[in-house]
Copies of this chain bind each other. A is one copy, B any other.
Amino acid sequence: MFNTLGNLLSLTTFGESHGVAYGGIINNFPAGLTVDLEKVQYELNRRKPGQSAIVTQRKESDTVKFLSGIFDGKTTGTPIGFIIENENQKSKDYDHIAGAYRPSHADFTYDQKFGFRDHRGGGKSSARETMNWVVAGALAKQLLPEIEINAYVSSVGDIFCEKPYQALDFSQTESNDVRCPDAETAEKMIARIKEIKKEGNTIGGTITCVIKNVPVGIGEPIFSKLQAELAKAMLNINACKGFEYGSGFCGAKMTGKEHNDQFNTDFSTKSNLSGGIQGGISNGMDIYFRVAFKPVATILRPQDSIDKEGNPVIVEGKGRHDPCVVPRAVPVVESLAAFVLADLFLINKTRNINNF
């Protein structure tokens, strides 16, 4: 089903940046799970605007309210409905672009596809939509308690975290505003973002995500390979431009002799250029992937553009925008990864009669 996330476990969402509310329905979540709703709010708070000096200063509490599907603290197996009310809309900030097209925004394509658009705050194309994904992902994480999912900012502009993920302490990711677990690199990244922000400019970055303790057998053989479902989920995130897993684009430069992961006698592998997936199915090794994000299109400087009729206009970002999207995108990446895994985990319950 298009415009829905997931195959068996599914998430359908609604909401526009300056509408009444965001929300969604998590369908086919299994019954019987005792859920910790504070953990869901915790994940939302990681994504929330105004949480630090290097993100947008829009003030929103982003409080999720569950409306169904949970009774006596446990999931009932019926649809989980939830809602997040919008609070701090300043729709006037967008009056000037009602008839204009901002460069590298979805204004033009929405108008063309749908005949018109809700221009306030980007309407449906706003990244506020990712709140819904965080709610669903936070519940999906609880369905897979053994699996550890840790994403972190691995680059901002040309500042890279050079250490391999194995050398990092993920417990430090939340210890700084940019969400890079290497303190020294984090400092440089933060300085870079502040500099960029002062210029009214924006900057891109990458996020690396590491998933440990995935059971063997998750993923489907043909058109729903684990990496394919992960890639699809990630490329749906606003500003995402690329996805690679395991050896990724570097692997394309290697030879088979270098690239093959030799087995240990316990079925683990000595190296893990495969990234924990073979033939679309998890092999029990760490799954790791990297996601690229372009710089936010809204810059706080005048830009030449055009209006609906093609006449030249000047647009200038007002409102409250992120100078760099990656710190707040970390929980979004984790949430989508959790949701994809939960979906394929449930599907896997049906794939072998010897496991019934």
Contact A279 B352 (CB under 8 A): no
Contacts of A293 in B (CB 8 A): 251-252
Q: How far is the CA of A299 from the CA of B257 in the complex (A)?
A: 7
Number of copies of this kind of chain in the complex: 4
A327 at interface by CB-CB < 8 Å: no
> Of B231, B256, B279, which one neighbours A231 at CB under 8 angstroms?
B231
In the assembled complex, the CB of A271 is this many whole angstroms from the nearest CB of chain B, namely 9
> Of B71, B79, B240, which one neighbours A12 at CB under 8 angstroms?
B79
Contact B352 A109 (CB under 8 A): no
Contacts of A76 in B (CB 8 A): 16, 114, 116-118, 123-124
Contact B28 A25 (CB under 8 A): no
A103-B263, A106-B278 as given contacts; A253 in contact with B28, CB under 8 Å:
no
A205 at interface by CB-CB < 8 Å: yes
A310 at interface by CB-CB < 8 Å: yes
Contact B10 A14 (CB under 8 A): no
Interface segment among A41-49, A165-173, A219-227: the answer is A219-227
> Of B103, B118, B242, B279, which one neighbours A260 at CB under 8 angstroms?
B103
In chain B, what residue has the closest Cβ to A233? B228
A150 at interface by CB-CB < 8 Å: no
> Of B33, B229, B257, B258, which one neighbours A232 at CB under 8 angstroms?
B229
Q: How far is the CA of A231 from the CA of B336 in the complex (A)?
A: 15
Interface segment among A56-64, A181-189, A342-350: the answer is A342-350
Contact B124 A222 (CB under 8 A): yes
A14-35 CB mask vs B (1 if < 8 Å, else 0) is 1110011111110110111100
> Of B23, B112, B294, B349, which one neighbours A216 at CB under 8 angstroms?
B112
A298 at interface by CB-CB < 8 Å: yes
Contact A28 B16 (CB under 8 A): no
A335 at interface by CB-CB < 8 Å: no
Offer 28 A-B interface pairs, CB within 8 angstroms, sorted by A: A2-B7, A5-B223, A12-B27, A14-B67, A14-B78, A14-B79, A15-B81, A16-B76, A21-B68, A30-B353, A71-B123, A78-B222, A110-B281, A157-B253, A201-B255, A201-B257, A202-B255, A203-B254, A204-B254, A204-B255, A228-B232, A238-B279, A242-B243, A244-B244, A244-B292, A249-B292, A259-B295, A260-B303
Q: Which 10 A-B pairs have the closest CB atoms?
A: A106-B279, A14-B81, A242-B244, A202-B256, A232-B232, A31-B114, A109-B281, A113-B217, A256-B295, A228-B235
